[in-house]
Structure 1
Amino acid sequence: MDVQLGCCWRCENPIERDVACIVCGESKYCSEVCRFRDQWRHISECVEWRPKQCSNAKCGIVSGQLKECTACCDAWYCGETCQRQHWKDHKPSCQKRTQEIREVGAALKVNFHNYPKFSSEKAMMQFPYYIGNTLAIDMLNLPANESRREDERTEKTSELDTLEDSYSILSAGCGNIRNWIHTVASLPNEFKGTLHTVLNDCDIYVQARNVLQLYMMIMYSDDPNVAERITTIWYSLHLPEEDYKFLIDCLRALLGFSADSLDEVTGGALKLSETDITAIRPVWKAWLELECREGHPNYIDLQEQRRRLLYQNQEMEEGMKLYRKELPNELLQSFDEYDKHGNFIPGVNAESCNLPYDNPTLTGYMFTQSAQVTPIESLLFLMSGRFVYCIDNCLMAFSEWDYLKVKKHHYNKSMVVMFHSFISDQIKQTIASIKAGAQRVSIIICNCFDISARVDVESDRFDRIFTSNIVDFSGTQALLKVMKPLLNRANKSSTIITQHYGWYLSVPDSMVYGEITAAKTTLPAPQRVCEISSCAILAAYDINSDYYEDMLSRHPSTMTEECDKVIDANMFFCQEYFNNMNWFVSYLRAECMAVNKDSQSTNPPSFQKVKQSEGLQLRDFRRGNSNKVVPFRYRRNARPVNMTRGMDRMLEWHFA
């Protein structure tokens, strides 16, 4: 669960009087009011955590000790007798589910076949992810792992010892550095150890920006305004003259460094190979060569480029309109101002003439819009084309920093003021840790499947390995096979984190929507237009009560049209109100079937086998709060400002 232990699952305030869900007992609230308000969202998880009922109607016993049908994982029995008695009724649905898993597995096998070989080339044909599409996470989370107080009878080292130890993290397919910054900023104040982080990505554009930002933090750590400058340069379309000149100075300095001299000047805090710095140097050079001053004959005019990119089709426009509807009313004015101009600078008027420069680091070479270029060698060094604005319309600061943490840090009616303050503070804490000598960062540009050739397998062992959503393209077992040898077996808390971001794209719609549990609630008849619409209404109620009231005011026929429009434009709007847990389990089984080349069986592997892949153990996410490092999923309704999605899942693997 994405709520801190001891806090309410609805409002997140500390719990003084424990009020639990009367059915499953897992969800905790500070009051009956919060429990009632969270009931619609909680239904889909409650049905997973509550005691099961025997599927044999003649029995119907309810118990927490029932065993599931291993073939479909969608029926539960108290014993073999009940299972045999129910087989005639259960057989059609069980065989149907098994066949669906086979079909999904066959499709995934084709998708996964060539990924390790061609992933670098594929990445170069996409948007550079200068801004991430998932929330920043704490990849270490010491308080819930190494520093957690265990039973005194165990041989666990003391909490003080864990805060003085050294830790290593491998972030494969890392994207930008938000996860690293949030990890460092989340370290306990008492932490006296060191953290070595390897940031691995095959995208030279993203890595060029990562090195630039790291250099700024290390070399200008004594500048009291550097955190705010970095935040502005990270996200703002236009820059003040002082920030632009700071950026240009840093780019020019980086062009003059070799890998050894950069290592020396940063005191060993930032390392990369000569091959890698050579690969990203042309990106810095291209940014320097862009004419960013408004009014110049060769002015790049990023605002016009952004406008064309954001609103090039109706689907994008509808998506942004829906996002706006989900925002709290008091934030609308500030979002509209940001959306119009793209400025991420607090206290600056949108029409201000004090922002004379465009931000070159929001540009890249758009291979998807270029001529037919396929060889990877050409893609890596083809810098003759003009760099253009290349940020996907759904990627902005509001999409990658947790709104719940942001508003607790500094709530403001201006989204820019609120998020700029939070991000700057995260960077300040990171800079302080760097100055204390607690941080070392290594940049490695390569396909993550080749990472073993770039690290010392004999000596480099990582306490956490974060793999982004690479499993969406490769399959979990193939990735675990590569990463397992790098995991620190000596640390009982060592964990590999896999992120499933696009699993729903490979399965039928029936899998995505699963059992529509929210539709079984006691909604008034006018609101029960259809099952999916009722979920959309519940989501609207939780996220934006004004939008909910607007839905209720409509005639049932027009309400259906509105709900359909909402779901078509953004299917994630109401996704957490569906129970698709069993379908996600089915997907993991199909994925395992697709990757397992040695198996001659046409039967899908059991979920028990999936949980024990490659000699690692999966923390069973179906049993409540099983994850120890990151949440299995985030509550979307609690984060109307974030573009979180109801289907995103994060799994944790550890040594059995």
Structure 2
Amino acid sequence: MDVAIGHCWRCENAITREVNCRQCGVAKYCSDTCCRRDQYRHQPECEEWRPKRCSNPTCTSDSRQALKECTSCNEASYCGKVCQKAQWKDHKHKCRERAHEIRTKGAALQSYFQQQCFPGLVPYYFGNALAIDMLNLHANECKMKPKPENRDPLKSNFAILSAGCGNLRNWAHTVASLPAEFSGKLHTVLNDFDPFVQARNVLQLYMMVIYQDEANIATSITNIWYSLKISEKDYNLVVACLTTLQDLTSSNLREVTGGVIQLTEADMAPMREVWQSWLNLECRKGHPNYIDLQEQRRDVFRNSPNAAEGIDVYKKELPGDFVPSYNDYLATGNFQPFGSKRVDLQYDNPTLTGYMFPYDRYDAIEAMKILASPKKVTFVYCIGVDLTPFGSWDYLKVKKNHYHRSMIVMFHGYITDQIQQVMRCLKAGHLTVSFIVWNCLELSARLDQESCKCDRIFTSNIADYSGTQPLLKVMKPFLNHENKSSTIVTQYWNWYLLFPCAKIEGPVSVRASRTKILAECSIAAIKDTCIDIVGEAPFNNPLFMSLEMMKTAGHGPYFWQEYFNYTKYFVSYLRAEFMAFNQSLGGVSDDVWHTVHMQRLFEFSGLKDAEAEMPTVTSGGEAATAKPPPFQKVRQREGLEMRDFRRGEPNKVVPFRYRRNVRRVNLFRGMERMLEWYIPESLDN
């Protein structure tokens, strides 16, 4: 759950008198009112967590504790062999169908992972997922029972490895979330294969270190991070920093930042090419060779399929007060605090430029050449249409601390505050950061496994492209075995493209059978999002419900997704993915591979995902008879164990999933999942 421990799952206030869900006992509330109001949102997860009944309808046993799950489909449970045998005639078709689906999708994934090479369509200067606290001390080390051998976590040193780190938002939010009493040191390894992203990260951190005593520096850094147009003062700051950085060696950089920024000359070389290219851009309107990022940005929007449709759906979901400020940002790309005058924003922001592949002409080989030598590319505006400042930071946290009717003012204030807190930690000497430009799956060539031991390892959604098992195998040696709270986090954004039935609307072939489910989820969505505002009485008014149904019809299917229990499909994906690495499966045709690959491209670029159902994979050899692994086996890999989301076991570092409809300002589907892997005491070696 995405609510802090000890807080209500509905209103998020601290719990003084705990009320548990009467069915599952997992969900926790501060009152009966919150428990009742959360019933519509909580229903799908409650279905998974509450005690199950025997799947044999003729069973007379009341026992719910000794049930055993069908290991083939994970969708039926029995109290014994007698009931399983009695129900087999009715169950076998569905069971075999699920097992066949897992086998065939496992074969598709096997081929996909073997051929995958995907360095990206654009540099991710803006995040495409919510900033998270990668350490979360209060829910981990600070929760451990005091022992003589345990050091005070608030006085201890910690290390984090962030593979595929993207921009600085996760690191900044982690640092800003450190307890005020923290007096230890935090070392973070930020790894990404993209030197454009890393060059921007180093530039921003350099600004925080060198100019931390200057007035309004945090505001300037926020402007430079997200705004298309910047003032002369902010532009001169960028130029001054770039001019210095391009002439520094890696050892000089470490020295001038007091050891905060650490990297090798090999990592710095491609970044230097990026810095020099930014310096060479003409950013003042009216000058020869002016880059005109406003016009470049318009071209990106014009040439992006489904951009207009996506923007329209997003605006329909926004609270009405936010629409004017979003329209302003949409029209200009400017992200400036309240009171800024556009006449003062005379310069285009050079750090919003880099490489950008047209969605229909992506070339992985060409992308690798660009990443190896950035200076060879023509620098252009490179922010995807789906990437905004409003999709990078948790709206619930932003609203709680900096609410304003203007989205720009609200988010700008929150991000600026995060940067100010980071600079306070820098000034206190708590932070050091290593930057590595390298493929995360080959980190053993860059990091010493004996000396680099991390308390948290965050892997973004690299598992979407590498698979979970290779990723865990690479990362486990860097995990700190001495810390019982050490965790590896794997993230999954694209999994449902292989299991399209996980979408509430689903492929065309299943929509007719889901008419009732669609209606139920739509009604649940309306009740869940309205009940805190209007109470329960209007729900009995047909006119009210009809008007709300019409109002939400344009929100898109992801508005209803939260109320559809599709856990079984995610479980099937994890089982299929496990098979792709642990069992011999038949190959797939080029047509099937192309479909999978194109669907991944659509998802990665933020475009509307492909609607067609995955083609059937015909496999030979062992694939036709290979038995899908039970979920329990999938949970234990490489000497690590996954927290069991099916049993209501909560993640301790990051949420397993986010509630979507309380975050409609954030641009995400609600299909994203995060798994946590730890070393259980029974397996610790």
TM-score (ref. length: structure 2): 0.86
Asked if residue 308 in structure 1 is aligned to residue 299 in structure 2, the reply is yes
Q: In the alignment, what sits opposite 2:330?
A: 339
Give, in whole Å, the separation in 2 of the partners of 1:606 and 1:310.
Answer: 46
Shift of 1:176: 0.6
Q: In the alignment, what sits opposite 1:421?
A: 413
Asked if residue 319 in structure 1 is aligned to residue 310 in structure 2, the reply is yes
Query: What is the letter of the counterpart of residue 122 of structure 2?
Result: F
1:137 aligned to 132, 151, 158, which one?
A: 132
Shift of 1:586: 0.9
Give, in whole Å, the separation in 2 of the partners of 1:388 and 1:166.
Answer: 41
1:488/1:494 contact within 8 Å kept: yes
2:125/2:166 contact within 8 Å kept: yes
Q: In the alignment, what sits opposite 2:356?
A: 366
Deviates more, 1:287-296 or 1:579-588: 287-296
For 1:523-562, list aligned pairs within 5 A. 530-539=516-525, 542-543=528-529
Q: In the alignment, what sits opposite 1:593?
A: 579
Asked if residue 506 in structure 1 is aligned to residue 515 in structure 2, the reply is no
1:327/1:544 contact within 8 Å kept: no
- Residue 378 and residue 340 in structure 1: after superposition, are their counterparts in 2 closer, same or farther (change >3 A)? closer
Q: In the alignment, what sits opposite 2:84?
A: 83
Shift of 1:464: 0.7
SS in 1 for 2:189: strand
Which deviations, in whole Å up to 9, do the C-alpha atoms of 1:193-245 show, x marking residues without a partner?
Answer: 11110000001111110110111111111113111111111001110111111
Query: What is the letter of the counterpart of residue 46 of structure 1?
Result: C
1:398 aligned to 390, 400, 410, which one?
A: 390
Query: What is the letter of the counterpart of residue 330 of structure 1?
Result: D
2:631 aligned to 607, 625, 633, which one?
A: 607
Give, in whole Å, the separation in 1 of the partners of 2:418 and 2:547.
Answer: 48
Taking only aligned residues, the RMSD between alpha carbons, in angstroms, comes to: 2.8
Give, in whole Å, the separation in 1 of the partners of 2:422 and 2:577.
Answer: 38
Query: What is the letter of the counterpart of residue 359 of structure 1?
Result: N
1:633/1:648 contact within 8 Å kept: yes
2:370/2:377 contact within 8 Å kept: no
Which deviations, in whole Å up to 9, do the C-alpha atoms of 1:571-604 show, x marking residues without a partner?
Answer: 4322211101111111100000001257977111
Which deviations, in whole Å up to 9, do the C-alpha atoms of 1:378-418 show, x marking residues without a partner?
Answer: 55225344311111112111101111111111211111111
Give, in whole Å, the separation in 2 of the partners of 1:624 and 1:332.
Answer: 37
Shift of 1:561: 12
Q: In the alignment, what sits opposite 1:524?
A: none
Deviates more, 1:325-334 or 1:164-173: 325-334
Shift of 1:37: 2.8
2:222 aligned to 231, 238, 260, which one?
A: 231
Q: In the alignment, what sits opposite 1:519?
A: none
2:187/2:432 contact within 8 Å kept: yes
Q: Which runs of 5+ in 2 are unaligned?
A: 507-513, 586-621, 681-685
Q: In the alignment, what sits opposite 2:56?
A: 56
Give, in whole Å, the separation in 2 of the partners of 1:462 and 1:280.
Answer: 26
Shift of 1:53: 1.0
Q: In the alignment, what sits opposite 1:176?
A: 167
Q: Which runs of 5+ in 1 are unaligned?
A: 516-527
For 1:355-504, list aligned pairs within 5 A. 355-368=345-358, 374=365, 376-377=368-369, 379-381=371-373, 383-504=375-496
Shift of 1:38: 2.0
Once the two structures are aligned, what percentage of the paired residues are identical?
53
2:141/2:153 contact within 8 Å kept: yes
2:635/2:642 contact within 8 Å kept: yes
Give, in whole Å, the separation in 1 of the partners of 2:250 and 2:638.
Answer: 36
How many residues end up aligned between the 2 structures? 628
- Residue 156 and residue 501 in structure 1: after superposition, are their counterparts in 2 closer, same or farther (change >3 A)? farther
For 1:112-127, list aligned pairs within 5 A. 112-115=113-116, 118=117, 122-123=118-119, 125-127=120-122
- Residue 24 and residue 554 in structure 1: after superposition, are their counterparts in 2 closer, same or farther (change >3 A)? closer
SS in 2 for 1:210: helix
Q: In the alignment, what sits opposite 1:518?
A: none
Shift of 1:462: 0.9
Give, in whole Å, the separation in 1 of the partners of 2:631 and 2:217.
Answer: 50
SS in 2 for 1:320: helix
Shift of 1:336: 1.7
Shift of 1:157: 4.8
Give, in whole Å, the separation in 2 of the partners of 1:311 and 1:625.
Answer: 45
1:514/1:583 contact within 8 Å kept: no
Give, in whole Å, the separation in 2 of the partners of 1:168 and 1:586.
Answer: 34
Query: What is the letter of the counterpart of residue 103 of structure 1?
Result: T
2:130/2:393 contact within 8 Å kept: yes
SS in 2 for 1:574: helix
1:128/1:206 contact within 8 Å kept: yes
SS in 1 for 2:434: strand
Which deviations, in whole Å up to 9, do the C-alpha atoms of 1:428-470 show, x marking residues without a partner?
Answer: 1111111111111000001001111111111111111100101
Query: What is the letter of the counterpart of residue 101 of structure 2?
Result: E
Which deviations, in whole Å up to 9, do the C-alpha atoms of 1:463-485 show, x marking residues without a partner?
Answer: 11100101111111111111111
Q: In the alignment, what sits opposite 2:235?
A: 244
Give, in whole Å, the separation in 1 of the partners of 2:200 and 2:236.
Answer: 16
- Residue 373 and residue 135 in structure 1: after superposition, are their counterparts in 2 closer, same or farther (change >3 A)? closer
Q: In the alignment, what sits opposite 2:646?
A: 622
Give, in whole Å, the separation in 1 of the partners of 2:551 and 2:432.
Answer: 54
1:128 aligned to 103, 123, 131, which one?
A: 123
Asked if residue 258 in structure 1 is aligned to residue 243 in structure 2, the reply is no
Give, in whole Å, the separation in 2 of the partners of 1:593 and 1:148.
Answer: 36
1:399/1:644 contact within 8 Å kept: yes
Shift of 1:312: 3.2
